[in-house]
């Protein structure tokens, strides 16, 4: 055995090496996905950076077909994303674009879009692998006199970024970053996985974003911001002990150096205070353990402490760390999606699902463009921490929640156990510092029953709000139908009766007048019902004010 | 005035006139129809069949019913024309006739029926309004069931043109006589005294009995009911009962479905046909078997009711309801029949009419012998 082992030499590989061989795991599994993922990573970074520094983001996106690519059936595509963010200091540029797992956000328990620091480096790797050119970066911080222009490549063997063609240039803006990738891929504009869907979705959940974009076969577009408020990204809260595993628990202690266990527990975790410690001692934890220094604890003692805390009943984690878009902003933002008949938005209060804080926000809108086939499913926009999710819809918790709602009771058609149908958009945003994704490319949310139920509740509220609009419409249709009925059937009925009874013309005329009077009374009742429905809706709109509007 | 065929045009005209008058006064016309359901059924053993109670269904003219009413008047016109000319049609033909009218008059377009269900519904509605049955408005179903064999029976049919056709059943060999949906035009006579009339549930078993010489050996009428009796079978039985005054016996399966849906309908009519039960039921029909006690007596092969057979489960459930609510089974004259239902519910077993063939497999006339013996001994309910 020993001899065999010595023949098969065990080697270690760098993180970059791993990801460069497994780019499909992080969103580069097809040519169309490669373009979308590259764009997505660049935009995510731009928005995160702006929010972090309190800047209202203005982002320009350019996507062009340059020529044919080196891969079979592919095009060479240029993707450029420019922002007015804080810019990146020269020494950080290679880390940001060329090093895996170099992140300012990793494990901080904040609701930022990016989390681990994989995405943009993967985009650089893809560009490097398919076009043999890295990311072209121009960046300028407030303190720089000139902007840095360079190309970043990933040193795959050592997981390091390398700066090439570095020069300082004049740039017409005080601060910001521009990054350009030349990648092999294919541009897909329309459809659920299309670029336009991504751009629309991003504007929907980022009301404060001003976006310019230029994509093939379309004029240059500008979408103005509808909110001047930069979302205040809540500060991270200390981790809740019940969301940790023993290893994490021990690793967490290393951050604190030489402090007493008692102090570490109180400072380093949320929901642990004096009362909890007293209870721990009461239920059998030796007091002496709490008085020891953290760095002197043995593994067995850590375990004893960890188990005791796990068995203790603690308050659920705080929901302060989640970030909401807000009903008002969402209401304004939804109008940017196109011509909308009416809509409803619901912002649930932050809550705890699976011991993690989470907030669900939902917008349901009926599009004016009714040419969309009424038998096709509604358009579903899914967001996790304000990033659109565009793939593998059927496995997602959001879709499960939508399917579980009985939309028929709100006047929307829905085949059994499937998505509702018609010209509607259902947008669901899940915000949480700890979203459980099914894969590293963050395409689907893994749903626990608790999370699905929370999303379902939000959808039901939105459905109820929406049904007021739909009901009014149904009433209007009914009235129209009834009036049509009278006009159509009245004369036929009278004529038939007159033929059978051989009645003279004068009787016929009198009967026709009488019938119209009768049916007119019915129509009047319906008209009244319609007006009531209308008034109810108006009253409802007044109470909900801006959050919902009949456009 | 009770509805009869002759006064349907008159009643229709009166009805239309009333509707027109109400409309002229801008008054909402209301149409009343007899409620045809079990809760509006009355049974009196002296009358012998289910009769309608006083409950009526009212249909008021309003925005929602104007379409139905316009369609009804349109269809009524077609039916009245048929009565006038003596033409007859099936429901499907009427559907196409209505299509034809609409095709040639574009102002009628809104009345167009999307499928036959819609026009059928209107024809039924007209019958309820006029309190008549569809044969009376010359709308016939195809003749089904009732194939009859006899060596003694002679049928005289009066044709629409007044001619008479005489059918001597003894001349037909093994070919059956098929009664019409409208037995009112038939008159019966016997060449020789007829002892009884046997109605067999299964058409096939009736054929077998005839093939084996049943009608040769006995002065009788033998008829196959072919399951749930059609109007033709029901009217035909009544005719035999009224005109020949011979005892009638029903021979069928021992199960809840046969008892309620076949035998009861034959004897006393049904709740759905309350209006026409007077013309379509033969209260003298007796239940010859299979009786529960026959199983033991003749050692018949019976078997348990299949719990997963929807029709049988439904029939048993209906039997429970019938014992509670059906005036026919509640009447003390029909105690014996109610007892059979109760026996079926308790034992959850069934026995088919063909089980008589197990008694002596080598003797093809064994079922015949049992039937005749049962009639002779008065072994029926």
Residue A398 has pLDDT above 60, yes or no: yes
Q: What is the ipTM score, two decimals? A: 0.76
Contacts of B1 (CB under 8 A, 6+ apart): B7, B11
The pLDDT of residue B1 is: 43
The candidate with the shortest Cα–Cα distance to A240, out of A313, A297, A191, A177, is: A313
pLDDT at A1: 45
Instruction: Please determine, for residue B347, whether its predicted confidence score (pLDDT) is greater than 60.
Output: yes
Name the residue of chain A whose CA is nearest to B16's CA. Answer: A497
Q: Burial, A492: exposed, middle or buried (Cβ in 10 Å; 0-12, 13-18, 19+)? A: buried
The reported pLDDT for the residue numbered A115 is: 61
Average pLDDT across chain B, whole number: 90
> Residue B26: which of A486, A517, A522 has the nearest Cβ?
A517
SS3 A344: strand
Higher pLDDT, A546 or A256: A256
- Distance (Å, whole) CA B164 – CA B186: 10
The model's pTM is 0.56
Per-residue pLDDT tens digits for A348-362: 887 777 777 788 888
Contact B107/A515, CB-based, under 8 Å? no
pLDDT tens digits for B30-50?
888 888 888 999 999 999 999
Higher per-residue confidence, A502 vs A3: A502
pLDDT tens column, A82-106: 999 888 888 888 888 877 766 665 5
Nearest residue of chain B to residue A484 (CA atoms): B63
Could B70 and A503 be called an inter-chain contact, meaning their C-beta atoms sit closer than 8 Å?
no
What percent of chain A is predicted at pLDDT more than 90?
10
Among A515, A516, A527, the residue to mutate for chain B (most B Cβ within 10 A): A515
Order of all β-strands in the sheet with A210-214: A160-169, A147-155, A135-140, A176-185, A75-83, A58-68, A210-214, A221-223
Q: Is B181 on the interface with A (CB under 8 A)?
A: no
Q: Of B26, B69, B76, which is closest to A514 when you measure between CB atoms?
A: B26
Least confident stretch, A67-76, A371-380, A493-502: A371-380
Per-residue confidence (pLDDT) for residue B80, from 0 to 100 = 94
The better pLDDT of the pair B196, A521 is held by B196
Is residue A26 scored above 60 in pLDDT? yes
Mean pLDDT of A392-396: 82
> Average pLDDT for residues B49-72, to the nearest whole number?
87
Tell me the chain B residues in contact with residue A529 when contact means C-beta distances shorter than 8 Å: none
- The residue ranking higher by pLDDT, B121 or B133, is B121
- Interval A185-222: pLDDT, tens: 888 888 878 888 888 888 888 888 999 999 888 888 88
Q: What string of DSSP letters covers A446-508? A: PPPHHHHHHHHHHHHHHHHHHHHHHHHHHHHHHHHHHHHHHHHHHHHHHHHHHHHHT--HHHH
Tell me the percentage of chain B whose pLDDT exceeds 90.
Answer: 65
Q: How far apart are CA B314 and CA A151, in angstroms?
A: 80
Domains and CATH numbers, chain B: 5-137 (1.10.10.10), 148-377 (3.40.1360.10)
CB contact under 8 A, A490 and B66: yes
Answer yes or no: do B63 and A482 touch at CB < 8 A.
Answer: yes
Query: What pLDDT shows up at residue A545?
Result: 46
Q: How is A289-317 classified by DSSP, letter by letter?
A: HHHSBGGG--HHHHHHHHHHHHHS--PPP
Q: Are strands B148-150 and B153-158 parallel, antiparallel or unpaired?
A: unpaired
Rounded percentage of chain A residues whose pLDDT exceeds 70: 90
Any CB–CB contact under 8 A between B62 and chain A?
Answer: yes
pLDDT of A239 > 60? The answer is yes
Would you state the pLDDT for residue B210?
93
Which of these, A16, A12, A173, A28, lies nearest to A94 by C-alpha position? A16
Asked if residue A149 has pLDDT above 80, the reply is yes
Q: What is the pLDDT of residues B280-338, one digit of tens each?
A: 999 999 999 899 999 999 999 999 988 888 888 888 888 999 999 999 999 999 999 99
What spatial distance separates the first Cα and last Cα of chain B, rounded to whole Å? Answer: 37
């Amino acid at each position: 055995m020993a001899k065999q082992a010595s023949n098969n030499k065990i080697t270690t590989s760098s993180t970059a090496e791993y990801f460069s061989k497994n780019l499909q795991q992080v969103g580069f599994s097809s040519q169309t996905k490669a373009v979308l993922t590259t764009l997505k990573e660049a935009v995510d970074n731009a928005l995160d950076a702006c929010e972090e520094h309190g800047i209202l983001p203005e982002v320009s996106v350019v996507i062009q077909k340059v020529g044919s690519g080196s891969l079979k059936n592919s095009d060479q595509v240029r993707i450029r994303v420019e922002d007015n963010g804080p810019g990146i200091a020269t020494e950080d540029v290679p880390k940001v674009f060329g090093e895996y797992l170099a992140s300012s956000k990793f494990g901080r328990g904040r609701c930022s879009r990016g989390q681990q620091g994989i995405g943009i480096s993967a985009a650089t790797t893809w560009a490097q692998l398919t076009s043999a050119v890295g990311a072209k970066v121009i960046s300028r911080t407030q303190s720089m006199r000139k902007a840095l222009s360079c190309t970043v490549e990933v040193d795959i063997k050592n997981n390091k970024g390398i700066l090439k063609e570095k020069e300082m240039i004049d740039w017409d803006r005080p601060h910001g970053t521009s990054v350009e990738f030349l990648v092999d891929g294919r541009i897909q504009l329309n459809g659920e996985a299309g670029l336009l869907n991504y751009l629309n979705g991003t504007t929907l959940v980022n009301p404060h974003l001003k976006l310019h974009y230029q994509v093939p076969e379309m004029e240059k577009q500008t979408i103005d911001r509808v909110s001047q408020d930069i979302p205040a990204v809540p500060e991270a809260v200390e981790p809740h002990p019940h969301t940790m595993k023993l290893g994490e628990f021990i690793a967490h202690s290393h951050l604190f150096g030489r402090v007493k266990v008692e102090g570490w527990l109180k400072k380093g975790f949320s929901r642990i205070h004096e009362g909890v410690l007293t209870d721990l001692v009461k239920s059998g934890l030796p007091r002496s353990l709490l008085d020891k220094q953290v760095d002197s604890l043995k593994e067995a003692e850590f375990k004893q402490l960890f188990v005791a805390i796990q068995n203790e009943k603690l308050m659920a984690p705080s929901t302060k760390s989640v970030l909401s878009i807000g009903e008002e902003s969402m209401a304004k933002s939804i109008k940017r999606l196109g011509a909308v008949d009416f809509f409803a938005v619901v912002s649930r209060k932050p809550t705890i699902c699976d011991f993690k804080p989470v907030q669900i926000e939902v917008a349901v809108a009926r599009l004016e463009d009714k040419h969309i086939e009424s038998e096709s499913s509604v358009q579903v926009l899914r967001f996790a921490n304000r990033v659109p999710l565009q793939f593998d819809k059927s496995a997602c918790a959001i879709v499960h929640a939508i399917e579980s709602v009985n939309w028929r009771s709100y006047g929307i058609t829905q085949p059994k156990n499937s998505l509702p149908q018609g010209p509607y958009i259902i947008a669901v945003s899940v915000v949480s510092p700890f979203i459980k994704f099914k894969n590293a490319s963050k395409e689907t949310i893994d749903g626990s029953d608790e999370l699905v139920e929370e999303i379902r509740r939000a959808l039901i509220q939105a459905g109820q709000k929406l049904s007021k609009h739909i009901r009014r419409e149904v009433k209007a249709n009914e009235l129209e139908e009834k009036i049509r009925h009278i006009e159509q059937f009245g004369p036929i009925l009278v004529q038939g009766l007159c033929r059978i009874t051989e009645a003279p013309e004068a009787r016929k005329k009198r009967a026709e007048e009488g019938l119209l009077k009768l049916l007119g009374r019915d129509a009047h009742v319906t008209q009244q019902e319609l007006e009531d429905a209308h008034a109810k809706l108006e009253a409802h709109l007044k109470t909900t004010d801006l959050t919902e509007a009949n456009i | 005035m009770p509805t009869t065929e002759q006064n349907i045009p008159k009643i229709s005209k009166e009805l239309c006139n009333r509707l027109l008058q109400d409309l002229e006064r801008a008054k909402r016309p209301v149409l009343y129809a007899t409620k045809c359901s079990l809760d509006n059924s009355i049974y009196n053993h002296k009358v012998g069949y289910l009769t309608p109670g006083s409950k009526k269904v009212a249909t008021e003219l309003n925005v929602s019913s104007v379409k139905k009413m316009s369609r009804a008047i349109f269809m009524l016109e077609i039916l009245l024309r048929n009565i006038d000319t003596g033409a007859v049609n099936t429901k499907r033909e009427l559907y196409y006739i209505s299509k034809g009218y609409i095709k040639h008059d574009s102002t009628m377009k809104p009345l167009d029926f999307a499928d036959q269900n819609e026009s059928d519904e209107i024809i039924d509605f007209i019958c309820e309004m006029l309190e008549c049955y569809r044969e009376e408005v010359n709308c016939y179903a195809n003749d089904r069931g009732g194939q009859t064999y006899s060596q003694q029976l002679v049928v005289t049919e009066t044709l629409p043109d007044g001619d008479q056709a005489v059918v001597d059943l003894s001349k037909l060999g093994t070919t059956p006589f098929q009664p019409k949906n409208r037995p009112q035009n038939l008159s019966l006579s016997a060449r020789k005294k007829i002892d009884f009339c046997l109605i067999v549930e299964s058409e096939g078993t009736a054929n077998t009995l005839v093939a084996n010489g049943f009608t040769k050996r006995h002065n009788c009428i033998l008829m196959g009911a072919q399951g749930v009796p059609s109007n033709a079978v029901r009217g035909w039985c009544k005719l035999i009962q009224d005109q020949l005054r011979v005892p009638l016996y029903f021979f069928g399966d021992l199960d809840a479905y046969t008892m309620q849906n076949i035998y009861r309908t034959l004897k006393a009519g049904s709740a759905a046909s309350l209006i026409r039960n007077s013309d379509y039921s033969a209260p003298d029909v007796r239940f010859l078997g299979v009786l529960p006690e026959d199983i033991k007596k003749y050692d018949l092969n019976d078997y348990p009711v299949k719990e997963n057979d929807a029709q049988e489960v439904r029939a048993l459930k209906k039997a429970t309801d019938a014992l509670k609510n059906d005036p026919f089974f509640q009447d003390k004259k029909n105690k014996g029949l109610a007892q059979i239902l109760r026996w079926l519910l308790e034992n959850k077993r069934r026995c088919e009419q063909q089980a008589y063939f197990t008694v002596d497999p080598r003797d093809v006339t064994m079922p015949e012998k049992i039937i005749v013996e049962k009639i002779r001994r008065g072994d029926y309910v």
